[in-house]
Structure 1
Amino acid sequence: MSATLGNTLEYFDFAVYGALAATLFPRLFFHQLGTTAGLLASFATFGVGFIARPIGAVVLGHLGDRYGRKPVLFATLIMMGGSSVLIGVLPTHQGIAIALVLVALRCLQGFSLGGESSGSQILTMEHCHRRRRGFFGALIIIGSPISQVLANLVIVVLSMMLTPAQFESWGWRIPFLASVFIVAVAYFIRRRLEETPAFVTTNEQAHPDAPQEKGLRVLRSHPRQVSLLLLAWSGTTLSFYLIAVYGLSYLTTDVGMTSQQAFVILMIANGVSVGTAVIGGLTCDRIGRKRVWYAGLAGCFVGVGLFFTVASTSAVVMGLIVTLVLGSIQFLSGAQPALFSEQFPTNVRYSGTALAYTGANLVFSSPAPFIAAGLSALGGPALVAAFTCAVILVSAVAVSKLRDGRELDLTAFAPHAETDRSRLAQVQAEKG
């Protein structure tokens, strides 16, 4: 519950910002730049959050591996809630100064999400039984589609209840200010949490004279795992943000739908994907993480190809295609927390998973709207689809190189134990 609420909060605020960055923020904060430049500047502030995420992953992941999962997850909760409330009270149409404040708050959002998204997963993976890791990991993952549903539902309801002038004046602030309620509930729950058994056991068993291979040392000790996980997640995260962010602009500008229709399509698709995430988690506990991942990537491949080539004005047709893409993404995402956590020992697990996860988001999600806009200008939507499908194929190859650790005991997982013992013997010998 703690992890799911934390994930819901983090992605709710991220989703609201992404939706408004594509529709309203160009007029509110970047109107002086003109229509096209204002949209690009708004997308740029959306991307800034992804740039800050790896920084948050580096700092908070390192702290989480050194001092524990629980204190870091308190900090991420407060940072995201605070930055979202401040965005909700920013004055509009005030020029570059307020735009820079918006960028700074967006950076803080990204920084906290960099630590929260992986930290909440590790917290749960290290608490639950190994035969249920897929299922419990999926319960964390559904925080993302739930947040997408809530974000789009709130925006749709507000846009229907308010006049365009009212929504542009103050209605858009409500979702950001409402996040304080999620913070309050999640904070109450997290106060009752205990530190994970894996972290406690690792600290108790650590020899005081042994070299401390923690946190950022994962880049030296496990570079292959970090790189493969980054590539494994690349096709998924690129597909998601192309549909959820750029897709709003594509459906309204190229396909000819209204903004309300596009929001409803995304809301329904994300609602369906909540169920597919749970199914993916349950399935990966039975048949393995990698098979679930391959099936999800296949669905993304087909769905993305259809989304950018069919271009039907029928809301039903486009809704089914979007549901196929997002449902496939969440199906494989149900296996993501388990697969990621099973690649690293406890002492670098937080840092390793956070770096791979946020690194993929930085490289592939942050520039997704720019890449899509540029490729569409060069060769039309079909070129966008071809590029995305190529990245999905790269993801499939990367997954094939990873271990499937269904039977792995995370508490006892210490793949470098022999190396550590030899180093300890060397240290003791040098001391005489």
Structure 2
Amino acid sequence: MKEPQNPAAEEDPEYVANLRRATLASTVGSALEYFDFALYGLASALIFNRLFFSNLDPAMGVVASLATFGVGFVARPLGGLFFGTLGDRIGRKWVLVVTILLMGGSTTLIGALPTYESIGIWAPILLTVLRLAQGFGAGAEQAGATVLMAEYSPIRRRGYLSSLPFIGIQLGTLMASVVYAALSALPDAIFVEWAWRVPFLCSFVLILLALFIRARLKETPTYVELEKNEDVTKQPLRQVLTGGLPGVVAGIGLRMAENGGSYMMQTLALSFATGTAAATVDQSLATWGITLGALIGIAVIPITGRLSDRIGRLPIYRAGSLFLLVFSFPGWWLLQTGSPVAVIATVAIGYGVGVNTMLGPQCAMLPELFGNRHRYLGVAMARELSAVLAGGLAGVVGAWMLAVSDGNWLLPAIYMATLAAITTAATVLTPETRGRDLLRIEDAVRISDDEQGPLPDVSAPSPRGVEPSSGTPADVGRRDRVEHSV
């Protein structure tokens, strides 16, 4: 397969076919992961307190329900560590097959769980175990999809093409919110008795589709290059711990607003608007905010991914974090008004515009932060540690804030603004990665601006067959290999 950074290579039928398969495999996997997680998030915010924690006070039942949602985030770093290490040692493809089975299988089994009324304390215990298994598989699924697409994409369109599978995030969220909006409109007795199980059980269909696509997928060009040169590391964890931690820290900072803001809008905001606010909104109406936000995200993600190819990852990312920072206070004030229109618009704009403006450039940026030998593990650690610190704590801490303050909207607003401020600071401290050669071994964060040299002009087409440089001549000379052929 020809070097994907060469424009002529993009016309190679084999490369085009594999790029198409990679895009489809990543999109379906992302859709399944976020269908599962959005589904669980919605259920934990709207109904799991009645099904699995019916012995508790209603307000504390919501806290306990959202705590099981957060438990999945505890397992995600462990899954990212385990599968990320395998991904750097044996390749991306088969790790992604295993993670989809573990993640999707756990979701299907949740739909078959008995409730607290049937088996007592074992119901929340089994729910927690399956949520841990779901999180363990998901810990490397999104990192793998991110690395897969970045390593397959040609350099000039990496931001745009890498963002396309993340439309799957919106599709999965959209499917979950539409399904739950429809089911929650049913009579309450039917919804509580059996209808809530249907979407969990239906995730089995997505598992089969994802397995079919991924079984036909070939390994990424950059990993093939490592194998060809016998440069595959046996200890990716040691490499990350001894040299890759700056990239992990940068990735965590970049994810605080995106991941934390996403789950605050998808879970905490709904729980607040439908049960805690001074004037509550019907839950079947409130979920339409996520639906509209996902539709907005389908447009925002590829647009911001393409813009990041033209003007850089950091300016686009910073625009999203600043938007969420400014939006936090008026947004949470609108949520407590009890106006269905205000609630739907707030969730849709906060999630659809604020969060997804950051997600578009992130798809290419996180893999660009790390060297080729430990990229999978580095991305997995950055994503999943931030998922614990941001997304996992968002629901629990936010619900606790609302419980102890008798539903004061100002506390979660301050919380979300703080997450946005952390990410804004991270965009100032992180180097620009647009146009970086993914065959390089060293991490981007460890190289000063002087060492990296000027960024290549990846927005303008080069003459047919002319290989673009990924830096200055001195920079090229510092690579571990001067010539690459995949």
Question: For residue 24 of structure 1, what is the aligned residue in structure 2?
Answer: 47
> Which amino acid is the alignment partner of residue 168 of structure 2?
G
Q: What is the deviation of 1:112? A: 0.7
Looking at structure 2, the residues matched to 136 and 317 of structure 1 have their Cα atoms a distance apart, in angstroms, of 34
What letter matches 1:39 in structure 2? V
> Which one is further off, 178-187 or 264-273?
264-273
1:346/1:414 contact within 8 Å kept: yes
Structural mapping, 1:240-251, within 5 Å: 240-251=262-273
**2-side partners of 1:264 and 1:230: how far apart?**
30
- Counterpart Cα distance in 2 of 1:324 and 1:196: 36
Task: Decide whether the 8 Å contact of 1:296 with 1:331 is kept in 2.
Answer: yes
Q: SS of the counterpart of 1:33?
A: coil
Aligned to 1:105: 130
Structure 1 unaligned regions, length at least 5: 422-432
Partners of 2:299 and 2:234 in 1: CA distance: 42
Alignment of 1:288-299 (within 5 A): 288-299=312-323
The two structures have a TM-score, normalised by structure 1, of: 0.92
Task: Report the equivalent of 2:36.
Answer: 13
Deviations 1:326-369 (A, max 9, x none): 12211220111211011111111001111011111101211212
Could you state the TM-score of these two structures normalised by the residue count of structure 2? 0.82
C-alpha displacement of 1:207: 5.5
Change (3 A) 1:345 1:213: farther
Q: What percent identity do the matched residue pairs reach?
A: 33
**Distance in 1, Cα, partners of 2:416 & 2:326:** 11
1:198 is displaced (CA, Å) by 0.5
Matches of residues 365-404 of structure 1 in structure 2 within 5 Å?
365-376=391-402, 377-378=404-405, 380-404=408-432
Separation of aligned partners in 2, 1:390 and 1:246: 16
Q: Distance in 1 between matches of 2:333 and 2:38?
A: 25
**AA matched with 1:394:** I
Offset of residue 382 of structure 1: 1.4
CA distance in 2, matches of 1:374, 1:283: 39
Once the two structures are superposed, the pairs formed by residues 305-344 of structure 1 within 5 Å of their partners are 305-310=329-334, 311-326=336-351, 327-344=353-370
Q: Deviations over 1:360-411 (max 9, x none)?
A: 1101211212222333434921132123212211211112222222221212
Match of 1:424 in 2: none
Match of 2:207 in 1: 183
Distance 1:410 1:7 in 2: 22
Q: Answer yes or no: is the 8 Å Cα contact 2:68–2:131 preserved in 1.
A: yes
The aligned counterpart of 2:154 is 129
Do structure 1's residue 74 and structure 2's residue 97 form an aligned pair? yes
Aligned to 2:8: none
Contact 2:291 2:348 in 1 (8 A): no
Residues 58 and 216 of structure 1 are in contact (CA less than 8 Å); yes or no, is this contact kept in structure 2?
no
Structure-to-structure mapping, 1:195-344, within 5 angstroms: 195-206=219-230, 212=234, 214-253=236-275, 254=277, 255-310=279-334, 311-326=336-351, 327-344=353-370
Q: Distance in 1 between matches of 2:366 and 2:157?
A: 15
Match for residue 425 of structure 1? none
Residue 6 of structure 1: CA displacement?
Answer: 0.3
Aligned residues: 418
Structure 1 residues 270 and 118 mapped into 2: Cα distance closer, same or farther (>3 Å)? same
Q: CA deviation at 1:70?
A: 0.3
Structure 1 residues 397 and 320, CA gap change in structure 2 (3 angstroms): same
Aligned-pair CA distance for 1:213: 5.1
Q: CA deviation at 1:240?
A: 1.3
Counterpart Cα distance in 2 of 1:395 and 1:256:
31
Deviation at 1:56, TM superposition (A): 0.5
Name the CA shift for 1:413/1:404 in 2 (closer, same or farther; >3 Å): farther
Helix, strand or coil for the counterpart of 1:199? helix
- Kindly tell me: are residues 38 and 320 of structure 1, through their superposed partners in 2, closer, same or farther at Cα, counting changes over 3 Å? closer
Cα deviations by residue, 1:305-325 (Å, 9 ceiling, x for unpaired): 212123333322333322221
Q: List alignment gaps of at least 5 residues for structure 2.
A: 1-23, 447-475, 481-486
What residue identity is the alignment partner of 1:139?
Answer: L
Look up the equivalent residue of 2:389 and give its one-letter code.
V
CA, structure 1 residues 216+181, in 2 after alignment: closer, same or farther (shift >3 Å)?
farther
Question: Deviation per CA, 1:261-295, whole angstroms, max 9, x where unpaired?
Answer: 11112211221122111111111111110011011
Cα shift readout 1:75-107 (whole Å, capped 9, x = no counterpart)? 011111211111111111221112211111100
Identify the residue that residue 167 of structure 2 maps to in structure 1: 142
Instruction: Find the aligned partners of 1:64 and 1:222 in 2 and give their Cα distance.
Output: 16
Residue 450 (structure 2) aligns with: none
Q: Which moved more, 1:241-250 or 1:66-75?
A: 241-250
1:375, 1:381 within 8 Å by CA — same for their partners in 2?
Answer: no
| Cα distance between partner residues in 2 of 1:339 and 1:81 | 27
Is contact 1:30-1:95 (8 Å) kept?
no
What is the root-mean-square deviation in Å for CA atoms of aligned residues?
2.1
Deviation, structure 1 residue 420: 11
- The answer (yes or no) to whether the contact 1:215–1:351 under 8 Å persists in 2 is yes
Are residues 291 and 85 of structure 1, via their aligned partners in 2, closer, same or farther at CA, if it must alter by over 3 Å?
same
1:413-424 to 2 correspondences below 5 Å: 413-414=441-442
SS at match of 1:334: helix
Q: Distance in 2 between matches of 1:168 and 1:411?
A: 52
1:410 pairs with 428, 433, 438, which one? 438
- The one-letter amino acid of 2:354's match is S
1:412 to partner: Cα distance: 3.8
C-alpha distance after superposition, 1:8-64 (max 9, x if no partner): 001101111110111111111111223233222211111110000001110000010
More helix by share: 1
Q: Deviations over 1:106-160 (max 9, x none)?
A: 0011011111010011011111101111112211222222211110101111233
1:243, 1:384 → 2: CA distance? 11
Q: In the aligned structure 2, how far is the partner of 1:260 from the partner of 1:359?
A: 33
